[in-house]
Amino acid sequence: MARTGQETALTEAVYYILLSLQQPRHGYGIMQFVQELSNDRVKLAAGTLYGALSSLVDKGWIEASDQETGRKKEYIMTNQGRERLLIELNRLKELVRHGQETMGVSQDEQ
């Protein structure tokens, strides 16, 4: 099925990386933030994180900060990334709503 980039679901790794990059963070900082936010559930491994960061930079959803020598490279989300994250947030809300509707479960009784 042909899909435009606007509709595709983000991977969990990408979703959490974007959430973490609302402020500048370096690699280790992203990993820690995601782990804390998800109560230790999402642990991004170094290779996976690096690969995701590289493709997000290529897509223009995040950018790497100008690097001074000896300083750790930091990343931050671009406006394009933020737009994409909002689309994903709406998609996720829809998923939750559909689940609650069809399963007859509301938010407080799970």
Partner 1 sequence: MNSKTVYRFYADYAKEEVWLNEMANKGWYLQKFRLGRYVFVEGEPNMYTYRIELLENMPNHPKSQDYFEFLEEMDIEVVDTSFRWVFLRKRTSDEPFHLYSDFDSQIHHEHRILKLYKVVFFINIIAVLINLFNPITDTMIWFNLAIVTGLSFVMQRHERKIQTLRGLRTIAEQD
Concatenated DSSP letters of 50-63? HHHHHHHHHHTSEE
Q: Does residue number 27 form part of the binding site for partner 1 (CB under 8 A)?
A: yes
Rounded Cα distance between 104 and 82, Å, is: 32
Considering only 43, 91, 97, 98, the residue that binds partner 1 (CB under 8 A) is 43
Q: Which is nearer to partner 1, 22 or 55 (CB)?
A: 55
* CB of 68 or CB of 108, closer to partner 1: 68
Considering only residues 60 to 99 of the shown chain, the ones binding partner 1 according to CB under 8 A are 72-73
Indicate whether 52 belongs to the interface with partner 1 (CB under 8 A): yes
Q: 40-76 burial by CB neighbour count: b if 16+ within 10 A, else e?
A: eeeebeeeebeebbeebeeeebbbeeeeeeeeeebbe
**Dist CA 13 CA 44 (whole Å):** 7
31 binds partner 1 (CB under 8 A): yes
Q: Which one among 17, 21, 44, 85 touches partner 1, defined by CB under 8 A?
A: 44
Interface ranges with partner 1 (CB under 8 A): 11-13, 26-28, 31, 43-52, 72-73
